[in-house]
């Protein structure tokens, strides 16, 4: 039973990550380009005329990419995203289920909903575990998102070129801000989603929320989690893409200092946040909803109708 439970979590998490990320891939690539590229790179494209980030600039960048590189270029780097997000989401969701059980046993909540602090800790540990195990794939995905297709022909080519030209340790550049960012992001995301489900059950009298309600709860979770960790996400992208965009960022603080000096506090460290407020809630909502519904489906297939999460 325990092996089945773990396998179900892994499969549901993998599907959740793949569906969510593919749905928002064009917006995700655009966000990475805004995060990673300084104004001097984006000015020639007619973007960021005031040095800030606004939705119209994002749509203009998407249209510019479509005209110059074709429709499918909007999904450039999505293959690397899938290679990363499938194991990442599978590990994260599975780890979250396991950490919830471990913390429930430790605090004496077996079979019951965790209290707020353990709920946050379970999410943070799940995100940290997944990030540690899949980080090089995130680096590859970021590189593919901000470079023309002529530079890297495939995921394997990215690994080979980075290893040969910049050294293997480059694959872990930006790792520290990633971990520092994933703690509040994953913690608050899982905490918010689980809390909203608990509050819904208490006030509605229904054991399970409907799919639209799950999407709404997931969207709220994504909005809160990503807003809290966004500056570290910008720093991570800058450090990951420094080698191909002509920068040299050696630490988190120096990277932040350079960004603030060149672009300002809000327009630098929060550049692309409005895009994240569109992309993030959609992606997280789809992800949590897909995971829950797949879990329910797999349990029904294995045990027959009547068993739900």
pLDDT in tens, 214-260: 999 999 999 999 888 888 888 888 887 776 666 677 788 888 888 89
Q: Give CA–CA dist 79/85, Å, rounded.
A: 10
User: Which of residues 197 and 137 earns the better pLDDT score?
Assistant: 197
Q: Is the domain of 142 the same as that of 167?
A: yes
Place of tokens 């829950």: 292
Domain hosting residue 146, numbered range: 77-172
61 and 45 in contact (C-beta within 8 Å)? yes
Residue ending a domain, choose from 141, 172, 203: 172
Residues 24 and 65 in one domain: yes
Q: How many domains does the chain contain in total?
A: 3
Contacts of 227 (CB under 8 A, 6+ apart): 273, 276, 277
User: In the predicted model, is pLDDT for residue 134 greater than 80?
Assistant: yes
Q: Is residue 309's pLDDT more than 50?
A: no
* 59 vs 211 pLDDT, higher one: 211
Domain shared by 71 and 31, yes or no = yes
Nearest to 42 by CA among 266, 226, 262, 278: 262
pLDDT confidence of 189, banded at 50, 70, 90? Answer: very high
How much of the chain, in percent, has pLDDT values that exceed 70? 86
- The Cα–Cα gap between 15 and 287 comes to 8
Please state, in angstroms and rounded to a whole number, the distance separating the CA atoms of residues 123 and 129.
10
Report the distance separating Cα 101 and Cα 122, nearest Å: 9
How many residues make up the chain in this entry?
309
More confident residue, 265 or 145: 265
Choose the final residue of a domain: 172, 203, 224: 172
| 71-74 CB contacts, 8 Å cutoff, 24+ apart | 73/149, 74/25, 74/26, 74/29
């Amino acid at each position: 039973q325990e092996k089945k439970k773990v396998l179900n979590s892994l499969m549901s998490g993998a599907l959740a990550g793949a569906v969510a990320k593919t749905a928002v891939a064009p917006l995700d690539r655009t966000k990475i380009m805004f995060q990673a590229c300084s104004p001097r790179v984006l000015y020639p494209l007619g973007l960021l005329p005031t040095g800030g980030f606004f939705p119209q600039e994002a749509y203009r960048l998407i249209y510019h990419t479509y005209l110059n590189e074709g429709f499918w270029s909007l999904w450039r780097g999505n293959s690397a995203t899938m290679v990363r997000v499938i194991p990442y989401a599978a590990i994260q969701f599975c780890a979250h289920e396991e950490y919830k059980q471990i913390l429930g046993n430790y605090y004496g909540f077996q079979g019951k909903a965790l209290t707020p602090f353990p709920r946050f800790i379970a999410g943070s540990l799940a995100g940290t575990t997944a990030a540690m195990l899949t980080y090089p794939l995130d680096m590859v995905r970021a590189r593919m998102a901000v470079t023309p297709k002529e530079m890297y022909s495939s995921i394997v080519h990215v690994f080979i070129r980075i290893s040969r030209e910049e050294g293997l340790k480059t694959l872990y550049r930006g790792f520290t801000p990633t971990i520092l960012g994933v703690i509040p992001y994953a913690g608050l995301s899982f905490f918010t989603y689980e809390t909203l489900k608990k509050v819904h059950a208490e006030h509605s009298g229904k054991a399970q929320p409907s799919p639209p309600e799950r999407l709404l709860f997931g969207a709220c979770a994504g909005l809160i989690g990503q807003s809290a960790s966004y500056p570290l996400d910008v720093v991570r992208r800058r450090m990951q893409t420094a080698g191909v965009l002509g920068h040299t960022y050696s630490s988190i603080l120096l990277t932040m200092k350079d960004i603030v000096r060149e672009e300002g506090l809000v327009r630098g460290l929060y550049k692309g946040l409005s895009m994240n407020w569109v992309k993030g809630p959609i992606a997280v909502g789809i992800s949590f909803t897909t995971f829950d519904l797949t879990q329910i489906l797999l349990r029904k297939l294995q045990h027959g109708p009547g068993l739900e999460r």
